[in-house]
Amino acid sequence: MIDKETENRILDFIANSKEPVHSTEIANSLGINRITATKYLSVLHGRGLISYRNVGMAKVWVHVENPMLLAFEKNDENDLAIKTLNALADGVCVLDKAMRIVWANRKMEERHGRIEKIRGRKCHEVFHEEKEMCKKCPTKETFETGKNCLETIRKKGYDIEISTSPLRGPKGKIDAVIEIVRAVKRK
């Protein structure tokens, strides 16, 4: 078990490093055994607080700004949040500040294509087939106000209801917005 003080020291060291760091650097800097440091790093990685890259045979560790956003970027089908959102009948997507698609659930993939093909593209280009952002973009409003938003976009013969909520990182900063999208027949 990792104590909170050691956890915070490791997280601070990684977050303040300009480059990814090796476990030996972390252990030496914090005055702990390298094997113990490696175990702690595995625990923190399992909780989504840090990530690593393989460089040759070694792992180098990097800070994760938003663990939830990392889960969406990895699109791990075993992640409980991903499983839950994929089970919904409504479309769900996560957008970054540049209005690029970070993740989309299966319903959105059915409508617009596999995530591998739409990730990184602008939402209005993929979802609405428009060159410009929607005039009443609820995602833009959520980024600007930090509040949930609900907007209805009229299409030929039906409406699209878009509900947005901010995804905040551990420090409260809005890192992304999650959209829930529902097509509604007009009465």
Are the C-beta atoms of 177 and 139 separated by less than 8 Å?
yes
What are the pLDDT tens digits along the chain (187 aa)?
788 899 889 989 998 888 899 999 999 999 999 999 999 999 988 877 888 888 888 899 988 777 777 778 888 788 888 999 999 999 999 999 999 999 999 999 998 989 889 999 999 999 888 889 888 899 999 999 999 999 998 888 889 999 999 998 877 889 999 999 998 887 7
What is the pLDDT, as a whole number, of residue 102?
Answer: 92
Domains and CATH numbers, the chain: 4-63 (1.10.10.10), 67-185 (3.30.450.20)
User: Tokens in use for 52?
Assistant: 């690593």
Which residues contact residue 62 at a Cβ distance below 8 angstroms, ignoring those fewer than 6 apart? 14, 20, 50, 51, 52, 53
C-alpha–C-alpha distance, residues 105 and 50, integer Å:
24
- Nearest-5° Cα angle at 6, 47 to 34: 90
